[in-house]
Structure 1
Amino acid sequence: MFGSRAQTCVPIPKLINYQTAILDVSKHIRAATNVKGEKPIESAPTLDLMQEITDLDTQLASMQHHFGVVFLTGASGFVGTQILRELLERPGVKKVIVNVRASSNDNGRQRIISAARSARWWHSTLAAKLEIWTGDLAKSLLGLSSAKWQELSTVDAIIHNGASVQWNADYQTLKAANVKSTFDILKNITGAVSPPRFVYVSGVHDFEGELDDSTTAMKLKGLDGYSQTKFVSELMVRNFAQRATSLAQRNHISIVKPGLIIGTTREGVANTTDFLWRYVAGAINVGAYPVPDKNDWLTVAHADFVANSTINALVNTPNNSNYTLDITGGIYMQRFWDIINKIMGHQLRPITSYEWAGLIQKDMEKKTEAHPLGR
């Protein structure tokens, strides 16, 4: 304390405050000794150190999450439109270039905006950050012109979410769109002077337990071509990352593996053609559901959560050797069916999986392609 001879008590912080002048010191002393008519000087605003840290940290975080120009495939799809939404709404994104199959840029823009409106999120203020490149994932170099292909090597980030989803098609039919497109993008990254950050959105069939790549490949042999192509692409990206010549390049490559995907938490718009809801529709048709085992788990996430995880992977590379972020959240299957019953207002009968498969088979034979599980 200051002024011990005069028996005054003036706190040191008041004396050393950067706003305190010589005249203020004498006023502090007179106020402290109760000089008649002397009003106390107002104290400087209280310093909130935690708020100070928060303010500075927020500024740094916005700089770290500056994505610049982002190239996105599959932006008209159920998840892709949510990834586009998150990108356009983030201040750290300068521009989003969307690769879309269309006859012209105008038609491509209409297609992307139409998908956004169907998902109930589009507003015109976002249009300025959106750029359309017409192309085709099934064609060489994504169907881009030579000039656009060269320009692709200068973007700051690439999110490869696009794929041809045809459950009844074989590997060779889907290879161009689902495998060659990934190969071409990785080839472009290899030749870039400053390699962009890259995220690949996978969709490989998730088998129970930890399996090595060879075992997974064997199990996929008899399954659909879509799962096979996504498996090949995923391993190609992982191997590419492991061979990367620099730590910086390795840290800029990620794989995001969501399970099944449902509508956003905000709008709740469902993808009714997705397998999960076709599966539910099949159960409703026969008035029954297969009784799951006690620990059967449905890996499922909201589309906006998957979109956020995908974009965050551009900065936060998963901390493991295979560069993969598995989205494993979900719900127990019995709980899922309980919710379906509650929403419907009447009970689906619980029966064995064997009985249920028999009912579904008969229903499919009757309705053929019109059956929800026959598409």
Structure 2
Amino acid sequence: MSDRAPQPVERRLPTEESRQLVALVRDIVSKEIAPRAAEEEEAGVFPREVFTLLSEAGLLGLPYDSAHGGGDQPYEVYLQVLEELAAARLTVGLGVSVHSLACHALAGYGTDEQRAAQLTAMLSGGLLGAYCLSEPASGSDAASLRTKAVRDGDDWVITGTKAWITHGGVADFYTVLARTGVEGPRGITAFLVPGDAEGLNAAVPEKKMGMKGSPTAQLHFDGVRVGDDRRIGEEGQGFAIALSALDSGRLGIAACAIGLAQAALDEAVRYATDRRQFGRPIADFQGLRFMLADMATQIEAGRALYLEAARLRDAGEPFSRQAAMAKLFCTDAAMRVTTDAVQVLGGYGYTLDFPVERLMREAKVLQIVEGTNQIQRMVIARHLAGPETR
């Protein structure tokens, strides 16, 4: 192999603690995640033991309060950890992002009693969460969801079907958005549902073109009963809670996309500097050098965009527009970069012997989850020009 192999990304981290944290993540990645990633993804193996290890290492609750088992880390640091994890295996990086999303409602809108009873186990107790907003007939139009929660004394009875649920069937808890009142966004309420609740069943996982190790499944709620102490926030506040969580979740997707793209670029550079044609490395040819330069520029631009949005979030400033921009730009960049990486490797890039074909297949889903990129453009345009006239 060439002695010009890519070096790890140099991180601009605010504290020595955060630098040690990223060093720990890189050690876990090199020993526990990267060596098995390709084989387990091809076999569709869900790496539950990796999530247990990450929880034991304090990496499943990084952006949350240490009083409840979190890591007290700014989003700026948390996202760079996600990038490292996703570069090794998207199933893990995206899984941590989804888990963090599932914890957001309780951490931000739960009562002190609810947080004391549930949040510590969710953040550092080895549990894994999932987020239930989408349904078979309500994806981008999430406010039209049909799953219902009906009051029955001190309980709520939830009936309906959720779709496209990452960790569906393997999660220990689900943050569920259900209709408790009028049509539209004002009639939706959030609930925390245990993974082993009676009447909760997962369908057979979807067969996907990528992320085969991450189970995505429909969840059927057949009269699932939860106490009112499992309701998060006020009745009718659920949609606002969901939107708040999605702003943060979109930054997680952006970071995962840049991690995936960085992995593809690293593989392309490694191959181009090692592969020789016409008596010299193919990296010497200008056409290919320009491709690598464009790939690197897109990655750096995306990284700067998601980090700036994270800094706004950490400062308590509005960041919804920047989150949508980061999700849009970074995931589109990941699709372009991974496609170009396959091109750099030529015929080898199209084979399972090299990771870039898997990275390209995985990049596609990032343009869809947490709001399609068409939805991100709508969000950005509303910030610029106001709501659409009707």
Structure richer in helix, relative to its length? 2
Ranked by relative contact order (alpha carbons within 8 Å, sequence separation 6 or more), the top structure is 2
Tell me the TM-score normalised to structure 2 length.
0.31
Tell me the TM-score normalised to structure 1 length.
0.32
